Amino acid sequence: MKLKLSSSVIPWLILLTCILLYLYSSVLSFYSSTANSSFIRLRDIRKSPTCNFSEGRWIRDPSYQPIYGANCPFHRNSWNCLRNKRENMRNINSWRWVPDSCSLSRIHPVEFLGLMRNKNIGFVGDSLNENFLVSFLCILHTADEGAKKWKRKGAWRGGYFPKFNVTVAYHRAVLLAKYDWQPTKFPGQDGLKGIYRVDVDVPANDWINITKFYDVLVFNTGHWWNHDKFPKETPLVFYEKGKPLLPPLKVSDGLQVVLNNVVSYIEREVLPRTVKLWRTQSPRHFYGGEWNQNGSCLFDGPLDENQLDLWFHPKNRGVNKEAREVNHLIQQALQGTSIKLLEVSHLSEFRADAHPAIWLGKQDAVAIWGQDCMHWCLPGLPDTWVDILSEIILNNLERG
């Protein structure tokens, strides 16, 4: 028996079908647009030039392990904590930095070098920028094992990656300004052996001629600006336009004058298209005294956030206070310039556990130099600096 539909029902069925199809397409469109917008928001947050990578927290992630190992050809022995069998290395490298307001991806060495093809990256400053560079070179080496050591144009050390025609190098200029030793001809009763003349308005020879070579430049200074490096027997004396500055400047005032002059030189001489960055001060973690006073950093894990001011705030006059003091001067010098801060200080303040300490690769090193609570184990914390640096570089290149 055939079922017959009333002619009056058919229009209602058609209308109902249309309504259902409309509702289905609307729901599908809603979920699709929501998913897409979420992806776009996440991508935009990660790529946003205003993203603050420096504020966040360290979380323990056992799956988070180094990209490179002890056999990287660019290692410096005293920082190669895997080869030196530093205790607790697996734990040290199982901490991952998570920014509060955005995501931080690990660098993809092949992708990064591909995007940097035919470009050059330069680091200028003291040994903490060298520490940074070695981390960078070892990470990039995993993408081009044919990389070669490179020491041209006055570079202290560097690497050339032939697959991508990329050079990454470090120029050692601990004060950034030119300085020379001038022994005194007539040592007096005050014990003065001579002075280190600092020409505040003349960049160090190590980097004065490389301002047009690099597409990215990362500057730092700070760890040599103290009386430990330049005691009263061999002080810094500051000159400008060939004449001594009078009255003589204190070390901190001399640093401020040098920063102002160097920043002006960078603004004037470095090409506008160059990505110009200034890395903030890397904090030290000497506990119980300075490096030559049995200062130690044998810690099992990161510091708690409520401990940081006790360690680093200048008002507490601790041995590690200089990082925040130097950062204040750097921030003043960079105001109104095209040089961007590469902020790594805060996230690094936590990591009292991540220094070479007593594992320096030589049996008598600690007896001579004390524990190293200033530089960082590699692989280690500077690998996170590299992640941040790579994000900033690529963001700047994308914006042209």
d(CA 269, CA 238): 23
pLDDT-derived band at 50, boundaries 50, 70, 90: low
pLDDT of 30: 38
Query: Residue 352's closest CA among 293, 289, 304?
Result: 304
What average pLDDT does range 367-382 have in this prediction? Answer: 95
pLDDT of 294: 83
Report pLDDT digits (tens) over 51-72.
899 999 999 999 999 999 999 9
**Top-confidence residue, 185 or 70:** 70
What average pLDDT does range 18-38 have in this prediction? Answer: 42
Half-sphere exposure of 133 (CA within 13 A, CB side): 32
CB neighbour list of residue 235: distance below 8 Å, 6 or more residues apart? 192, 195, 196
Note if the pTM is more than 0.85: yes
pLDDT of 46: 42
CB neighbour list of residue 136: distance below 8 Å, 6 or more residues apart? 121, 168, 382, 386, 389
What average pLDDT does range 108-123 have in this prediction? Answer: 98
CA 159 from chain centre, in angstroms, equals 18
pLDDT of 36: 35
d(CA 139, CA 160): 13
Instruction: Look at 152-161, 187-196, 318-327 and tell me which has the smallest mean pLDDT.
Output: 187-196
d(CA 156, CA 169): 8
pLDDT of 123: 98
What average pLDDT does range 112-139 have in this prediction? Answer: 98
Instruction: Look at 25-29, 49-53, 306-310, 378-382 and tell me which has the smallest mean pLDDT.
Output: 25-29
Residue 18 phi/psi, 5° resolution? Answer: -65, -40
Question: Is 16's pLDDT higher than 70?
Answer: no
pLDDT of 162: 98
Question: Is 47's pLDDT higher than 60?
Answer: no
Please classify residue 267 by burial: count the beta carbons closer than 10 Å to its beta carbon, then call 0-12 exposed, 13-18 middle and 19+ buried.
Answer: middle
What average pLDDT does range 245-258 have in this prediction? Answer: 97
CB neighbour list of residue 72: distance below 8 Å, 6 or more residues apart? 137, 138, 141
| Overall residue count recorded for the chain in this entry | 400
Instruction: Look at 11-20, 34-43, 223-232, 238-247 and tell me which has the smallest mean pLDDT.
Output: 34-43
Is the C-alpha dihedral spanning 111, 397, 67, 304 positive or negative? negative
Q: pLDDT exceeding 70 applies to what percent of the chain?
A: 87
pLDDT of 49: 55
d(CA 93, CA 114): 27
What average pLDDT does range 278-301 have in this prediction? Answer: 93
Report pLDDT digits (tens) over 323-347.
999 999 999 999 999 999 999 999 9
Omega of the bond leading into 247 within 30 degrees of 0 (cis): yes
d(CA 396, CA 290): 39
Write the single-letter amino acid at 183: P
For 331, the 3-state DSSP assignment is helix
Tokens 């995007």 label which residue? Answer: 115
What average pLDDT does range 255-278 have in this prediction? Answer: 98
pLDDT of 263: 98
- The pair of structure tokens assigned to 325 is 């003091």
pLDDT of 29: 41
Question: Is 239's pLDDT higher than 90?
Answer: yes
d(CA 190, CA 197): 19
Question: Is 130's pLDDT higher than 70?
Answer: yes
Instruction: Look at 37-41, 209-213, 269-273, 377-381 and tell me which has the smallest mean pLDDT.
Output: 37-41
Cβ(345)–Cβ(329) under 8 Å?
Answer: no
Residue 252 phi/psi, 5° resolution? Answer: -65, -35
Question: Is 2's pLDDT higher than 60?
Answer: no
Buried b (16+ CB within 10 A) or exposed e, 359-394: bbbeeebeeeebbbbbbbbbbbbbbbbbbbbbbbbb
Omega of the bond leading into 379 within 30 degrees of 0 (cis): yes
pLDDT-derived band at 129, boundaries 50, 70, 90: very high
